[in-house]
Structure formats: C-alpha cells, structure tokens
C-alpha cells in the first residue's frame, strides 16, 4: 500500500490538536490526519505551560524486543484503540490486532511485524493512561522513545499523524529486515565490570574478523543502556569472538538478542534511503513538547531536525543512558517528574532504575494487557 492510498483509507483517523494540548489532551476525532489538514493559527497553538517538576510527567516509549503475544488484550475499550487497529490493518495489509493477541510468536518476532505492533500498542497504552489518569497526560512535558519508540513519542507530541507515522514505521521495518538479510549479523547484550573497555573489545573483534577474511567488518556499540550496560552489534563472527573471550574482556554477562540483524550500525546503511524518502513525503511538524533524539539525547528543534535524526538513528547507537540524563538532570533538591512507561514490557523502567534511582521512585508502568 502506497502513501496516497494510506492517506485516503485513513482519512477518518484524527489526531489531537486544539488549545488544550497536543495528542495527549485531545480526542482522535478532533483533527483529520490527511496531509491537506490546515494548521492551527498561532493563537490556537497549544501553549507550553511551566509546571513544578513534581507535578510534571514524562512518557517513555519502548522499542523492538518488548513485544509479546497477548499484548493489547482488553485495550479495545479505551478511546480510539479499536479504530487505531482498524487503520493499522489497512495501512499494513494484515490483521495486526490478531497477531498481537494470538501470534504466532515466530511471526510477531519478525522485524517487519514487531515494529508496527510495538508502535500501535504503545499508543494504545497512552489511550489507557488518558482514560485512567488524564492528569498524567495533560501534565506531560517531555517524551522519549527507544529506537522505533521514537515514532510513538513523536505521534504523541503532535509531530506526526498516526497513520502516516505507521506507514513510515512499516517502510522502516521492511528496509531494516532487508538490510539484515544481506549479512549474517546480530546484537549482543553485555553487562561488564567497571574496568571493561567496550570500544577496545569491538576493535579486537573486528581484527578477529579480518583474520577470517571478512572485508570491512562491523562491530560497534549499538545501545548505551545504563552504566556498564551496552548492546554491541555487528558481524556474527565478531559477536562470537566477544562471547568466547568475555572473561578477558571483563564482561560479566552476555546474551545474544532475538533480533534479525545489527541494528544501529553501518550494516543498516541500505535502510537509510528508504526511510529518508518516506519521511520527506509525510507531514512532520515541530513537537509540541520536548521529544529527545536517540542519536544524541537532545531535544528535536524543528521538522527537518526530526527527519534527519530519524534517518541517522538507523546507523547510529541509541544513546539511551545519555537521553535519561538529559531528561532528568536537575538542581539538587528539585523534585523529579512522574514517569510513565507506555507500551509492552518494563525494560525502560529497569534502565531508569539503574541510571537514576531517585527518578525511578516516581515510575509507573502502563501495561498493555488488562488482567
């Protein structure tokens, strides 16, 4: 399905844009998603009100790897969740809701399926939070998403429309899957001792690959998660070397991640142009709240900045630890905001706990499954 068809079949989906706030303070029926949607006048644009830190909220959106069969169960009763899944079926060309609820797991785990699934389920969790605790939505001043979670955060912030962002996620996932199939590669989760030198370990792994005759081997840090927590990605032979020499490298624990390729490394270069191309064709606006980029942890400043960073993100490490420092840095004695992880899993809460225990004390997980 191309973008023009996406716009036509999804024109009934609407995104929040009124005086109250961005996505979070609005109903999906307020503003059409179509690209010819008129922009509000300057006096109608939501104002960013200053809030006491203890009364503000931060939303964190998870990424690929957080998905599981059964997510989304019970969420159809909230807000626009049912309509979101109906639109997803038209944009994607398959029944995403059925895949989330019933699997099969081997299909849900595929990059082409799990990225759209996490994207939609995360925004479904926002609908649940908006129903159960609307004050959390109204008081949100900042958001960040891990990898594909950035698209969820940008939709939430009003920078993208739901259906168009979903189409971009579809293109992104397909391009990443295709790039993964070109080289035998993967990702390795590493927890190291304080003296571990991750970059030097990658150098050694690349040298090992060269000794095997591999041309231009790739082995780099792909995710900065928390102090002494990294994900290293690259050629399979490089990851095998790191696991086999983990003791000498001061790695306490290593685990191969169940993903199809070396995401956020140079091996994803073939996926950059397809994503850049689709981002140029959809409507992207300046976020109405602070949304932080994975590339450097800094806030997005304007629409072109969003597009450039999202394309660059594919071949750059996710600097999640640095992003958390940017979000939660404050003067001594100043209160921390309430943090909500919206989407499947609790991985981002776990990383927050390891990076900033004081901020974690105000953490809440918004589950994507109702008991």
DSSP-assigned letter for residue 297: S
Output phi, psi for 89, to 5 deg.
-65, -35
- Determine the Cα–Cα distance for residues 356 and 312; give it in Å rounded to an integer: 27
Check 113, 208, 235, 264 and give the catalytic one.
Answer: 264
Active site residue 147: yes
DSSP result, 63-99? -TT---TTTTTTGGGSTTHHHHHHHHHHHHSS-HHHH
Q: Which of 286, 292, 329 is nearest to 313 (CA)?
A: 292
Contact criterion met (CB below 8 Å) for 164 and 305: no
Active-site annotation holder among 66, 122, 142, 147? 147
User: Which of 131, 27, 34, 23 has its CA nearest to residue 74?
Assistant: 131
Whole-angstrom Cα distance, residue 62 to residue 306?
Answer: 18
Residue burial 198-234, b: 16+ Cβ < 10 Å; e: rest:
beebbebbbebbeeeebeebbbbbbbbbbebbbbbbb
- How far is residue 83 CA from its own chain's centroid? 22
Picking from 169, 203, 210, the residue whose alpha carbon sits closest to that of residue 314 is 169
- The residues carrying an active-site annotation are 147, 264
């Amino acid at each position: 399905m191309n973008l023009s068809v996406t716009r036509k079949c999804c024109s009934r989906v609407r995104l929040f844009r009124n005086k109250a706030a961005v996505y979070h303070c609005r109903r999906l029926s307020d503003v059409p998603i179509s690209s010819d949607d008129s922009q509000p006048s300057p006096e109608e644009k939501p104002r960013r009100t200053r809030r006491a830190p203890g009364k503000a909220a931060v939303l964190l959106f998870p990424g690929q790897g957080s998905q599981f069969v059964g997510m989304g169960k019970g969420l159809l009763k909230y807000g626009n969740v049912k309509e979101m899944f109906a639109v997803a079926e038209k944009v994607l060309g398959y029944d995403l809701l059925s895949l989330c609820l019933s699997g099969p797991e081997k299909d849900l785990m595929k990059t082409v399926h799990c990225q759209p699934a996490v994207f939609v389920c995360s925004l479904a969790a926002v609908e649940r939070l908006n129903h159960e605790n609307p004050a959390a939505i109204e008081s949100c001043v900042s958001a960040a998403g891990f990898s594909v979670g950035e698209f969820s955060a940008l939709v939430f912030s009003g920078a993208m429309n739901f259906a168009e962002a979903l189409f971009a996620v579809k293109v992104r996932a397909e391009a990443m899957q295709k790039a993964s199939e070109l080289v035998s590669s993967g990702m390795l989760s590493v927890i190291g001792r304080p003296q571990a030198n991750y970059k030097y370990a990658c150098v050694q792994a690349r040298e090992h690959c060269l000794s095997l005759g591999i041309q231009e081997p790739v082995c780099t840090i792909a995710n900065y998660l928390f102090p002494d927590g990294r994900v290293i990605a690259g050629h399979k032979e490089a990851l095998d070397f790191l696991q086999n020499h983990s003791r000498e490298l001061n790695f306490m624990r290593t685990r191969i991640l169940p993903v199809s390729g070396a995401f956020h490394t140079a091996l994803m270069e073939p996926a950059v142009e397809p994503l850049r191309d689709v981002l140029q064709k959809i409507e992207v606006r300046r976020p109405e709240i602070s949304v932080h980029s994975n590339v450097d942890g800094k806030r997005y400043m304007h629409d072109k900045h969003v597009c450039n960073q999202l394309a660059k993100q594919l071949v750059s490490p996710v600097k999640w630890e640095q992003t958390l420092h940017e979000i939660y840095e404050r003067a001594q004695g100043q209160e921390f905001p309430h943090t909500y992880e919206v989407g499947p899993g609790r991985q981002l809460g776990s990383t927050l706990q390891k990076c900033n225990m004081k901020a974690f004390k105000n953490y809440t997980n918004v589950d994507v499954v109702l008991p």
